[in-house]
Amino acid sequence: MRTQVAIIGGGPAGLLLGQLLHRYGIDNVIFERKDRDYILGRIRAGVLEQGTVGLLDEVGVSARLHQDGLVHHGIELAFGGARHRIDMTKATGKTVTVYGQTEVTRDLMDARLAAGLTTVYDADNVGLHDFDGTQPRIRYEKDGKTHEVACDFIAGCDGFHGVSRQSVKPEALTVFERVYPFGWLGLLSDTPPVSDELIYNNHERGFALCSMRSPHRSRYYLQCALDEQVENWSDDKFWEELRRRLDPEAAATIVTGLSIEKSIAPLRSFVAEPMRFGRLFLAGDAAHIVPPTGAKGLNLAASDVHYLSTALREFYTEKSAAGIDDYSRRALGRVWKAERFSWWMTSMLHRFPGTDEFSSRIQRAELAYLIDSDAAKTSLSENYVGLPY
């Protein structure tokens, strides 16, 4: 088999890249180590920047998004027992859309299937070869047989634990990382959200987030210790602790119910530089991780894919390598701005172990300044809705 671009990873980043390349007339094959049902079974966030929605519009997979997605014009910050709304549309003229990552993935999968494009699921022992030269190859196993695919380029969209970044020589990578001393305990339930917009709660017991997937499905998070176990949290215990961290109005009106899913996710900031190694390009979580506080994970993957797809289109249609030569610099410029914003949101809203009273007062002053300053609200809004590509 031969293709122009071999895409490693069948999540939203790889699927979106595949659809963009197809639209540009560039042949591509996706290799995914899991099956379709496994990928669709993963619970992920779903706050989409306007730029991400625009890319989904471009590849023609946004009909359900515009039908079922929830357009949000602001967020709420809660601290000191009161809520304060940040009107992002007033500040920027832009919005975000709440639409689950699982649904984005499903829409992209269906579009790829309808277009007759090749996706190899259950691809075991994927190996990336010769990407430092001009004839890279992918080798993988399926159904007990070894297969090899020749290609022009490899796009590593296979996440933090994937083979793509691991295939790069360690001395060629510079890694920047910060691991946070807490995680998020998340609960998904078929209950109406407590608010029409997301509520970010700063509380002495720890951070809490009230989010949603639809008008009838809610997603809630609690800051928890890294060594916490999901098994220790019954539904009743979760709801009780959430109420403690909410403002009085939200605590009195929240609708509780049985959980569909509960899980704990650690928080980290991570960047691997550069994002290009010969004819191998990293995109999305393969190259960077952000704490979820800023809702940037999927959106950063989308901007990477935008830069990479336009660079490859330029290579094939204009016979110019300028775009691919500049891919890493352009992508990392936006990545670091999103890392900064996500770190700032995390630092402002969470309780850190061992924090002294001075640091606590500074945190409260930061929140108070934010809600009192139009300039500060505009800065938060610009970053939250998404910086330009």
Q: Any catalytic annotation for residue 316?
A: no
The answer to whether position 131 is within a domain reads: yes
Check residue 90 and give its pLDDT: 97
Q: Any catalytic annotation for residue 384?
A: yes
| Active-site residue, selected from the candidate residues 72, 73, 203, 350 | 72
Q: Are residues 276 and 133 in the same domain?
A: yes
Check residue 310 and give its pLDDT: 98
The answer to whether position 105 is within a domain reads: yes
Split at pLDDT 50, 70, 90, the class of 8 is very high
Q: Are residues 152 and 196 in the same domain?
A: no
Check residue 2 and give its pLDDT: 96
CA distance 89 to 341: 18
Q: Are residues 63 and 108 in the same domain?
A: yes
CATH number at residue 213: 3.30.9.10
Q: Are residues 163 and 247 in the same domain?
A: no
Q: Any catalytic annotation for residue 216?
A: no
The answer to whether position 13 is within a domain reads: yes
Q: Is residue 282 predicted with pLDDT exceeding 90?
A: yes
Percent of the chain with pLDDT over 70: 100
What is the domain range of residue 68? 2-73+95-177+268-348
pLDDT tens profile 236-259: 999 999 999 999 999 999 999 999
pLDDT tens profile 121-144: 999 999 999 999 999 999 999 999
Q: Are residues 253 and 333 in the same domain?
A: no
Q: Is residue 43 predicted with pLDDT exceeding 80?
A: no
The answer to whether position 313 is within a domain reads: yes
Mean per-residue pLDDT, 62-89: 97
Q: What SS3 state is found at 338?
A: helix
Check residue 33 and give its pLDDT: 95
Query: What are the CA-CA distances from residue 101 to residues 53, 155, 304, 334 (Å)?
Result: 12, 20, 17, 21
Check residue 198 and give its pLDDT: 98
**CB burial string 38-60: b at 16+ within 10 A, e below:** ebeeebebbbbbbbbbebbeebe
Check residue 41 and give its pLDDT: 84
| Active-site residue, selected from the candidate residues 292, 306, 327, 350 | 292
| Active-site residue, selected from the candidate residues 200, 220, 307, 327 | 200
Q: Are residues 212 and 276 in the same domain?
A: no
CATH number at residue 139: 3.50.50.60
Helix (H) or strand (E) holding 31, with range, is strand 28-31
Q: Are residues 262 and 188 in the same domain?
A: yes
Q: Are residues 23 and 58 in the same domain?
A: yes
CA distance 15 to 31: 10
Q: Is residue 102 predicted with pLDDT exceeding 90?
A: yes
Q: Are residues 30 and 150 in the same domain?
A: yes
Split at pLDDT 50, 70, 90, the class of 45 is confident
Q: Any catalytic annotation for residue 296?
A: yes
The answer to whether position 88 is within a domain reads: no
Q: Are residues 111 and 21 in the same domain?
A: yes
The answer to whether position 38 is within a domain reads: yes
CA distance 8 to 30: 6
Largest Cα–Cα distance in the chain?
Answer: 64
Q: Are residues 57 and 112 in the same domain?
A: yes
Mean per-residue pLDDT, 39-64: 92
Quote the number of domains for the chain.
Answer: 2
Check residue 159 and give its pLDDT: 95
The answer to whether position 275 is within a domain reads: yes
